[in-house]
Structure 1
Amino acid sequence: MTENTDKAARLTQQWLAEIQALKQQMAELQQKRDEAWESSQKWRQLYNTESEQRRADARMYQQAIAKRSEGIASLKAELQKLHGIDALKATDTTAIEPEITQLTSVEDVKATLISLIKERDRLLQALKTEQDNHAQTRKSLTTALGDAIDSLAKVRAGDMKHSSTEQGAEGKD
């Protein structure tokens, strides 16, 4: 009879030990689950912060480009206004007829033509310079945006690598 009692006591001790081991495993798994949840929350927050920063940067770049375009349009309008180009229409000759009637000799016509050609060349050069400046600004902003994206990708890759190294270390424990 004592043999059966001893056997039952041993079995009970084994079951209790197994139950205790399973409780310990369950507690460890719950802790890992909680840590994984906290990590996912952290990554979600980082992602949201970064995406908001990207949206803010994109808005800032768009505003800078819009300001630059407005500036160019304003300068063009001012240039045209200063030289009276906006008052002249290609089909409207009534505005220039008084000037034409004042030209009495071939020399006057040549002098006026030379003056107009010089003015046209100067305006074309000013327009080309402004267009070049605009293209350079667009290129610079595009490059800056690309560099920012590349830097961000490197930071993310470093964070992911760091995170996976930490997870690998946890898995070995």
Structure 2
Amino acid sequence: MNQDLTQQWLTEIQTIKEQMAFLQHERDAAWESAQKWRQLYNTEAEQRRTDAQLSQQAIASLKADLHKLQGLETGTLEAGTTVKAIQQEIDQLKSVEDLQAKLIAVIKERDRLLQALKTEQDNHAQSRNSLTTALGDAIDSLTRERAVAAEQGKRE
């Protein structure tokens, strides 16, 4: 009887050891998966930060160009000088056709800058949505893995 009880305890201990090894393996796999997702998220986030920084620089450059076109440049020219510079540029135009050509060029540049700004805004919104989706997927995946591990732990 004692030997049967001892054998039963040894079997139980062995079963628990196997369960522990399985659960440790599952935990390690979940940890590795989480690390992988964290690394992917960090890489993507770094890329988005870089893109955002480049976009901010482009926007600042576009704003500076827009201010120059509008005659609102501050700090480098006095208010009278800006009007004077614009007037000199207008005086160089010899005909109505020259004026029309200059106006068309300015309007095209404005439209190009507006399109570039819209594209940057769209890219930013898409990046934000992609990152949100990726983060949600990672959380869902980790939750599922934990649920499966917990369910397997209950069965054993």
- Asked if Structure 1 and Structure 2 have the same fold, meaning a TM-score greater than 0.5 normalized by the shorter chain, the answer is yes
Matched, 1:146 2:136: yes
Q: Report how many residues are paired.
A: 146
* CA-atom RMSD in angstroms: 3.8
Match of 2:84 among 77, 80, 97: 97
C-alpha contact 2:55 2:120 (8 A) present in aligned 1: yes
Name the structure 2 match of 1:42.
25
- Encode CA deviations 1:139-169: one digit per residue, 9 max, x unaligned: 233223333443444455445545544x1xx
Name the structure 1 match of 2:126.
136
Uncovered stretches (5+) of structure 2, i.e. residues with no partner: none
- Encode CA deviations 1:86-136: one digit per residue, 9 max, x unaligned: 9962464334522225656xx98x969956972445423331222112212
Inter-partner Cα distance in structure 1 for 2:105 and 2:74:
15
Inter-partner Cα distance in structure 1 for 2:112 and 2:43:
34
- The amino acid of 2:140's aligned partner reads D
Q: Are residues 90 and 28 of structure 1, via their aligned partners in 2, closer, same or farther at CA, if it must alter by over 3 Å? A: same
Inter-partner Cα distance in structure 1 for 2:90 and 2:3:
113
- The amino acid of 2:40's aligned partner reads D
Matched, 1:63 2:46: yes
* Partner-residue secondary structure (3-state), 1:89: coil
Q: Percent identity?
A: 32
Inter-partner Cα distance in structure 1 for 2:17 and 2:88:
92
Match of 1:126 among 88, 110, 116: 116
- Encode CA deviations 1:36-83: one digit per residue, 9 max, x unaligned: 321232123123212211221221121121122133234335546777
Inter-partner Cα distance in structure 1 for 2:89 and 2:106:
19
Structure number, greater radius of gyration: 1
- The amino acid of 1:30's aligned partner reads I
Inter-partner Cα distance in structure 2 for 1:99 and 1:128:
28
Q: Which has the higher contact order (CA 8 A, sep 6+)?
A: 2
Q: Normalization by structure 1: what TM-score?
A: 0.60
